[in-house]
């Protein structure tokens, strides 16, 4: 069920954080380069403008884990501050920004702000989201935008007609229109866009909200029904909570938090594929927990649902919390957290599940020390903890006087619902930072919480490999891509091949590796990134073969053979359990630095 070797993860991350484990992508510390907003533009000229982060607000990661999108705020002022950034690995850049032309919009339309939900990727990393425009027609300012990886198209805007809705008998049906606050935007692989609208125009308020695929009604308040929790009858829905309707990319499964018509005092329910699976004031199936509230839910790329909430014993923070995945209780308040000696506390901040069934929970614990009682748990093991030192500048040292947590240590260390666990063992999350004197390390002037975006690489299991980072594009348009086959071994003399394809033909190149971690630093002024940290070990130079000025060259290395025949190479002698980060380098004379780089790969050496 789990793709990650949890014993390895526990060994790496249950101890105090290492400088490589908590990798800072962005922060709000004014003096830190990590607080500079990449790609921010000035409204009037459209030219780059230096600015810092004011806030980090929402996070979503693509189904394959290779892309992420965040919403944030800059220090540029109220007409420019809202921004979305698209990234991969440990770096990103501006994707859309307030004050800039609406992507795919008409002349004069500028972005005003983005929807409250960050949007969703499909399986091919296309992306859909919503925004509000200014400068154009007020009757069409709410828009849904789909980005295909290259260009953007507005697929829906305020005033467009819906189909399939039913108004009350006294009103005509068929004239209902898109409202001014459409949400739950998500893109399916077949190109359809799912959405929820609580502001439908030309309809009785008793017949909204509704959820849609491409503006065709899927479920509607007081019109459609779902199967009850027992699976024996149907219940008419009263409504759908905003930003809770999402589908698997293939469109085969969906989930939403709905109000249903029952005689109970509170009727919020989690509905999956048209059937209630969790209902307020009713026992959660296969548990002894009576649901009191559903705080958050979502659906993994494999179509399985997950949710977190609180029992019905109290509305106070001290009431027990729970997390359930596809009907299985993952954790509840009071359960032990692996071998840490701690128990899950009374507040779960975030819950994420990947397509492999691996899970992550950010929560508090029963630790009596309020300065260390918030933790991030993956598959039962603590991988980050309030009070952990943070290597903000990424130099491999804890010399930044920065720690996870808040100056007032009773405030939450982790941000609500901003944890994402990828299938290849990387965790992205938003947390907070303080210094050693318990002062928040936030923006100046201060705004909200002192946010930081962090990635943790839990790493692949023994013999497995994970690609990451962004390959450069060569002079002839080649994007060199690294892959691995076989098993990396500390004892075998062969059998683990690193191969880089799509390389410039008839050029010299080599493969190099590191033992100190992933990196993401610009390689000159071109499109390549140095993706491994120093020190590095070069392997032998080789000719890429192929055709001059074509992309049919390749670099190949049996890493086991290199290790076996170079006993003084970096890391030797290997024993097994070591993480290795590798990347390809090749000549490209017209390019910046006269060279280019592939993406990178991480693998774990077996004994």
Tens-digit pLDDT profile for residues 347-369: 999 999 998 788 999 999 999 99
How confident is the model over 93-115, as a mean pLDDT? 96
Instruction: Say if residues 384 and 418 touch (Cβ distance below 8 Å).
Output: no
**Per-residue pLDDT tens for 376-430?**
999 999 999 999 999 999 988 899 999 999 999 999 999 999 999 987 778 999 9
**Per-residue pLDDT tens for 29-68?**
999 999 999 999 999 999 999 999 999 999 999 988 889 9
Mean pLDDT check: name the lowest of 158-167, 234-243, 453-462, 486-495: 453-462
Distances (CA, A) of 476 to 80, 229, 556, 597: 37, 59, 21, 14
**CA-based torsion, 121, 463, 500, 581: positive or negative:** positive
CA-closest candidate to residue 323, choices 307, 334, 336: 307
Rounded distance between C-alpha atoms, residue 374 and residue 345, angstroms: 9
pLDDT of 458 reads 80
Other Cβ atoms closer than 10 A to 346: 18
Percent of residues, the chain, with pLDDT higher than 90: 82
Instruction: Say if residues 384 and 363 touch (Cβ distance below 8 Å).
Output: no
How confident is the model over 450-454, as a mean pLDDT? 97
Band (312; pLDDT cuts 50, 70, 90) = confident
Mean pLDDT, the chain, integer: 92
pLDDT of 139 reads 93
Q: What is the CATH number of domain 465-604?
A: 2.60.40.10
**Per-residue pLDDT tens for 171-205?**
999 999 999 999 999 999 999 999 999 999 999 99
Q: Which two tokens stand for residue 67?
A: 């892309």
5 pLDDT higher than 80: no
Rounded distance between C-alpha atoms, residue 362 and residue 66, angstroms: 22
Q: Which residues pair with 479 in a beta bridge?
A: 473
314 pLDDT higher than 90: no
558 pLDDT higher than 70: yes
How confident is the model over 10-14, as a mean pLDDT? 32
Rounded distance between C-alpha atoms, residue 91 and residue 394, angstroms: 13
pLDDT of 3 reads 34
Instruction: Say if residues 344 and 333 touch (Cβ distance below 8 Å).
Output: yes
| Max CA pair span of the chain | 85
pTM given for the model: 0.77
CA-closest candidate to residue 97, choices 46, 156, 27: 46
pLDDT of 332 reads 96
Instruction: Say if residues 510 and 585 touch (Cβ distance below 8 Å).
Output: yes
How confident is the model over 589-605, as a mean pLDDT? 93
Three-class secondary structure assignment of 182-234? EEEEEECCCCCEEEEECCCECCCHHHCCEEEECCEEEEECCCCEEECCCCCCE
Identify the DSSP state of 551. S
CA 513 from centre of chain: 27
Q: Which two tokens stand for residue 419?
A: 């944890």
Mean pLDDT check: name the lowest of 281-285, 341-345, 546-550: 281-285
241 pLDDT higher than 90: yes
pLDDT of 21 reads 82
Band (14; pLDDT cuts 50, 70, 90) = very low
DSSP per position, 418-478: EEEE-TTSEEEEEEEEE-TTS-B---SS--SS-EEEEEEE--PPTT-EEEES-PPB-TTS-
Rounded distance between C-alpha atoms, residue 165 and residue 12, angstroms: 54
20 pLDDT higher than 50: no
Rounded distance between C-alpha atoms, residue 564 and residue 571, angstroms: 12
Enclosing H/E stretch for 147: strand 142-147
Mean pLDDT check: name the lowest of 206-220, 425-439, 460-474: 460-474
9 pLDDT higher than 50: no
Rounded distance between C-alpha atoms, residue 392 and residue 376, angstroms: 18
């Amino acid at each position: 069920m789990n793709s990650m070797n949890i014993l390895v993860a526990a060994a790496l991350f249950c101890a105090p954080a290492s400088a490589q484990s908590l990798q800072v992508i962005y922060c709000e510390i004014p003096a830190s380069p990590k607080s500079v907003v990449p790609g921010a533009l000035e409204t009037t000229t459209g030219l780059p403008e230096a600015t810092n982060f004011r806030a980090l607000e929402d996070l979503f990661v693509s189904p394959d884990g290779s892309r992420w999108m965040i919403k944030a705020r800059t220090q540029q002022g109220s007409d420019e501050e809202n921004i979305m950034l698209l990234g991969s690995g440990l770096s990103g850049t501006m994707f859309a920004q307030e004050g800039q032309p609406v992507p795919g919009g008409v002349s004069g339309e500028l972005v005003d702000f983005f929807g409250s939900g960050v949007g969703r990727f499909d399986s091919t990393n296309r992306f859909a989201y919503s925004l509000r425009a200014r400068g154009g027609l007020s009757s069409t300012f709410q828009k849904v935008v789909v980005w295909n990886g290259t260009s953007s198209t507005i697929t829906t805007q305020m005033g467009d007609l819906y189909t399939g809705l039913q108004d009350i008998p006294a009103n005509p049906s068929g004239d209902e229109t898109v409202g001014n606050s459409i949400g739950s935007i998500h893109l399916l692989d077949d190109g359809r866009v799912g959405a929820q609208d609580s502001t439908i125009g030309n309809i009785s308020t008793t017949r909204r909200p509704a959820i849609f695929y491409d503006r065709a009604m899927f479920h509607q308040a007081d019109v459609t029904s779902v199967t009850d929790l027992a699976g024996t009858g149907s219940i008419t829905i009263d409504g759908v909570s905003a930003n809770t309707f999402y589908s698997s990319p293939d469109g085969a499964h969906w989930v939403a938090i709905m109000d249903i018509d029952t005689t109970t005092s509170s009727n919020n329910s989690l509905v999956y594929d048209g059937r209630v699976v969790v209902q307020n004031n009713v026992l959660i199936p296969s548990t002894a927990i009576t649901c009191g509230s559903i705080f958050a839910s979502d659906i993994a790329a494999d179509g399985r649902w997950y949710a977190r909430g609180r029992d019905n014993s109290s509305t106070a923070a001290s009431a027990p919390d729970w997390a359930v995945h596809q009907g299985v209780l993952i954790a509840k308040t009071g359960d032990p957290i692996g071998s840490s000696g701690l128990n899950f506390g009374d507040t779960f901040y975030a819950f994420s599940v990947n397509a492999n069934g691996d899970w992550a929970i950010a929560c508090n614990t029963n630790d009596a020390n309020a300065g260390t009682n918030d933790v991030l748990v993956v598959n039962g093991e603590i991988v980050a903890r309030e009070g952990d030192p943070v290597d903000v500048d990424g130099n491999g040292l804890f010399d930044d006087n920065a720690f996870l947590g808040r100056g007032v240590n009773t405030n939450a260390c982790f941000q609500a619902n901003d944890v994402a666990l990828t299938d290849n063992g990387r965790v992205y999350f938003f947390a907070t930072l303080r210094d050693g004197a318990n002062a928040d390390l936030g923006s100046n002037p201060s705004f909200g919480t002192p946010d930081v975006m962090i990635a943790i690489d839990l790493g692949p299991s023994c013999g497995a490999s994970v690609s990451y980072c962004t390959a450069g594009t060569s002079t002839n348009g080649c994007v060199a891509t690294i892959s691995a086959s076989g098993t990396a071994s500390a004892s075998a003399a062969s059998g683990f091949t690193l191969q880089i394809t799509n390389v410039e033909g008839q050029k010299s190149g080599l493969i190099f590796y590191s033992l100190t971690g992933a990196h993401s630093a610009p390689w000159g002024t071109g499109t390549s990134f140095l993706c491994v940290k120093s020190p590095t070990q070069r392997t032998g130079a080789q000719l890429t073969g192929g055709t001059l000025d074509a992309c049919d060259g390749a670099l190949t290395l049996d890493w086991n053979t290199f290790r076996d025949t170079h006993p003084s190479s970096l890391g030797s002698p290997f024993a097994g359990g070591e993480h290795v980060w590798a990347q390809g380098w090749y000549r490209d004379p017209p390019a910046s630095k006269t060279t280019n780089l592939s993406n990178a790969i991480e693998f774990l050496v077996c004994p």
